[in-house]
Amino acid sequence: MMRFLTTSITVIALTLATTQAIAAVGTPGFTSEVQAYSYVSIDTEGTGSYKQLVQLNEKIDINIGWTMWTGLASTYEVYFDDTLVNSGNLSSGTSGNISFPYTGKAGTYELTLKFCDDSSCKKSTVKELIIADTDGAHLSPLTMTTDTNNNTYAKTDSVVGAYFVEWGVYGRDFDVSDIPADNLTHLLYGFIPICGSNASLTGSSVGALTTACADSEDYEVVVHDPWAALQMSFDGLSYGDPIKGIYSQLMRLKQRNPDLKILPSIGGWTLSDPFFDFTDKANRDVFVTSVGKFLRTWKFYDGVDIDWEFPGGGGANSALGNTENDGDAYVALMKEIRAMLDVLEAETGREYELTSAIGVGADKIEDVNYGAAQVYMDYIFNMSYDFYGAWSGVTGHQTGLYCGSSISTEQCTGTGIEGDDYKYPAYTTVAGVDALLAQGVEPSKIVVGAAMYGRSWIGAMPADAINDNPMTITNAAGPLTGSTSQGIWEAGVIDYKGIYANMIGASGTGINGWETGYDEVAEAAYVWNRTTGGLISYDNARSIKAKGQYVQDLGLAGLFAWEIDGDNGDILNAMRDSLPIGTS
């Protein structure tokens, strides 16, 4: 009898223990799927239109596969890091899925699950979960590979800007990691196109824009080269990253330099044609709405830069321009963009800047009331370069601060009697600034332009120069040509770093038959080959510092340059050296 009793007790105890073991909460685990999501979905291998390749998602559908091989549980909790993001009742079984919508912040999180019954809970191990967004919150800061010639500076309250161009990642092999961003306050991305008639555009870029705009309305904005901007692989990216290309680098740059203002520059020399249709408000409305969506999609941008070349005409397309109506359209455009940005600021709690690159000739400035437009704008980038080039028929300083010693007072001031030739002051940095100030533009909104390249001629022979001044030659034969290894990517234009390496040299006095020169009246540099007749007008450290001093004397906003891949550090260093150290 005792033996039977003992056996019964043992069986009952084992049964209770087994029941408790079965009833205990199981430990949750994860299935093998990668937990990676994105607020912007990009077809990183597609070749379609911008709208086919890019989709903005207002929410993310999280789907977590789970396992629980032993035990029971009735409820679950989902944590991103230590934050509870979802909870609910758990389905029965040894595996399943937890799905829920998510509208929170992007980032890289430690995902954990907690399964519970009425009396206890158990947590899973940690799994990485990535929620990508175009603010770059999910990315690590960009590792830089800038030229070591760039110096280190304290912060400045002045504007120090530079353009970076989308196509530079190709032949120039210059990507975002090469930008000396620590020395900049503003980075302008060139260029964002406007869909519609773009007759000024030529070459392979036409086909690329046609494809990009295939599903867009006229006057909407798109990414011109999706391969470069969104699909190309760079160091630090993996195959599965949802956003690639230059834009992924810019997002990582924003993580590294959060105070850097990154602005998409819309338009440019060959992409300005659609602006001339903005005398019609309906077209402006389409454009402004599209820019708003663009900024909501690409959150690393801090506003917008408008590069309309030029209201009133004088741009790449000689058939376009209305001196009576374009100026009013420009002011209205600035007002309407500012209103859109104000709404965006209220939505996001961020600040968005509105800037514009403009031609500095008095003949161009007179066609727009910049005094009225500036009320809506943060900065006006004066493109104080390209004053002269091989197209001019004469030589001259392409980015001079003042009139050169070769220019008469009458021509300089536009007070001569030789008809239209002297109707306006000669193109100089100072003349452009004076014209804006005369319109009532605040000095603190004017940014002076610097050139990280030179304009060139051939056939500028000493025998044709007056008083041995190469800027007096009226029969130069055309543009200087050469190879990309010399920094010549188009006839008549050469990168500053190419000028330094092939014409200036380490001594600063000239090499390979070239000699350096400086016009102290214009505050402008040049190099001249007296034997071949080669001549290049450019900015150097001395002329940049003269511009910087001028900026300080007048209380202007600062300096910017076209464009950053042409520099070896000399020009940007001079820009920083010439401007005051900040107080903030």
In degrees, to the nearest 5, what angle opens at C-alpha 364 toward C-alphas 391 and 315?
Answer: 45
DSSP symbol at 119: S
First-to-final CA distance of the chain: 93
Q: Which residues contact 466 (CB under 8 A, 6 or more apart)?
A: 406, 472
Q: Among candidates 557, 548, 509, 515, which has minimal Cα distance to 532?
A: 515
User: What's the CA gap between 62 and 60, in Å, rounded?
Assistant: 6
> Is 110 designated active site?
no
DSSP symbol at 490: B
Contact 503, 475 (CB under 8 A): no
Q: What are the structure tokens assigned to 517, written together?
A: 């020169």
Per-residue 3-state assignment (H helix, E strand, C coil) for 151-179 = CCCCCCCCEEEEEEEHHHHCCCCCCHHHC
Q: Measured in whole angstroms, how far is the alpha carbon of residue 584 from the centre of its chain?
A: 24
Largest CA distance in the chain: 135
SS3 category, 91: coil
Q: How does 47-59 read in b/e, with b if 16+ C-beta sit within 10 Å?
A: eebbeebbeeeee
Q: Among candidates 383, 411, 400, which has minimal Cα distance to 521?
A: 400
The catalytically annotated residue of 309, 336, 523, 563 is 309
User: What's the CA gap between 55 and 50, in Å, rounded?
Assistant: 9
DSSP symbol at 468: T
**What proportions of the chain, in percent to the nearest 5, are helix, strand and coil?**
30, 25, 45
Which residue's entry shows tokens 């038959």?
513
Q: Measured in whole angstroms, how far is the alpha carbon of residue 89 from the centre of its chain?
A: 47
CA distances 266 to 275, 318, 322, Å, are: 10, 20, 20
Angle between helices 570-578 and 541-554 (to 10 degrees): 30
Active site residues: 309
